[in-house]
A = this chain, B = another copy of it.
Amino acid sequence: MPTKRQPTVAFQGELGAFSHMAAQKLLGRHIRLLPCTRFEDVFQALRADTATHGVIPIENTLHGSVHENYDHLLEFDVPIVGETSIRISHQLIAMPGTKLRDVRRAFSHPVAINQCLGFFAAHKDIERMPFYDTAGSVKMLKEEGPVGAAAIASAAAAEIYGGVILKRNIEDDRRNFTRFFLLTKQKMKTGPRSGAWKTTLVLSIPNRPGSLFKVTAALALRDLNLTKIESRPLRGKPWEYLFYIDLQGHQQDEATRNALKHLSEITSIVKVLGSYQAVP
């Protein structure tokens, strides 16, 4: 059973996945890890208390929001208690003994391969080999030892599976960041709140001229600043929209409480998903 001293952290992917790096950044290195196949399994582990914490990606600077995780946040009652951001940077990794000039095949998830097209253009003798998972491709190198093979994954994956980084940061675009949320049902330490806080809300409004204007008015009238707003059409409910909103401030602040009360007058659903310290 997980103890309070050492958190058990559920995340989607293999050991060495970017979610694993985010878990370490949020909770340190003394954590037990529970790799999961699907995002939903992370939430199920929290519900079943097989994990004390969960770490999920919520948006990426190139690929947008992970709507699926917003759906799970609405369905499962596990508050957001932290956020962090990880730069997605790809390393060319091989097992010890393999040199860059020996490499003929590079395994990785196709999304990662497609983020390193400049590297492949400069190394036309290296074949691109699609694989399930970035970290999993390093694990495969370790377990199966294919000759002349490398993998593209995180620096953490190289460390975990005993790989050597042959070439660092081979990604084409350095503006590739993923934002992660930390989830837990555990009561967080209270006391005076210092620093900058953020609160994430989901709300649903009818698709009518002026609906969103009223929502932004309820926030602007309390001088609350939005750091994210996103609409999402609800399939099957063509006249309803779901909105994700991040605002600066804690849900217990007077201004936020007043704004939430006002929002509940004009929206059909308004749910606070959590308050957490803002990471710049």
Binds B, one of A150-158, A193-201, A208-216: A208-216
Within 8 A of B (CB), among A93-137: 109-111, 114, 117, 128, 130-133
From B61, B217, B230, B238, give the contact of A231 (CB < 8 A).
Answer: B230
**A268, B233: Cα distance in complex, Å:** 28
Binds B, one of A17-25, A141-149, A220-228: A220-228
**A231, B226: Cα distance in complex, Å:** 10
Can you list 13 A-B pairs, Cβ within 8 angstroms, ordered by A?
A59-B64, A61-B233, A61-B235, A110-B132, A110-B133, A209-B225, A212-B216, A212-B229, A213-B213, A216-B217, A217-B217, A228-B231, A230-B230
Count A-side interface residues using an 8 Å CB cutoff. Answer: 48
From B67, B109, B128, B132, give the contact of A63 (CB < 8 A).
Answer: B67
For residue A66, which residues in chain B have a CB less than 8 angstroms away from its CB?
63-64
A175 near B: Cβ within 8 Å? yes
A236 near B: Cβ within 8 Å? yes
**A183, B249: Cα distance in complex, Å:** 41
Q: Which residues of A contact B (CB under 8 A)?
A: 37-38, 59, 61-68, 109-111, 114, 117, 128, 130-133, 175, 177, 207-210, 212-213, 216-217, 219-220, 223-233, 235-236, 238, 280
- A229-B230 contact, Cβ under 8 Å, with A67-B61, A238-B280: yes
Which of A114, A128, A226, A236 has the most chain B CB atoms closer than 10 A to its own CB? Answer: A226
For residue A38, which residues in chain B have a CB less than 8 angstroms away from its CB?
114, 117
From B110, B213, B225, give the contact of A216 (CB < 8 A).
Answer: B213
For residue A110, which residues in chain B have a CB less than 8 angstroms away from its CB?
109-110, 130, 132-133
**A228, B224: Cα distance in complex, Å:** 22
Q: Please tell me if the beta carbons of A175 and B65 are within 8 angstroms of each other in the complex.
A: no
Q: Please tell me if the beta carbons of A233 and B227 are within 8 angstroms of each other in the complex.
A: yes
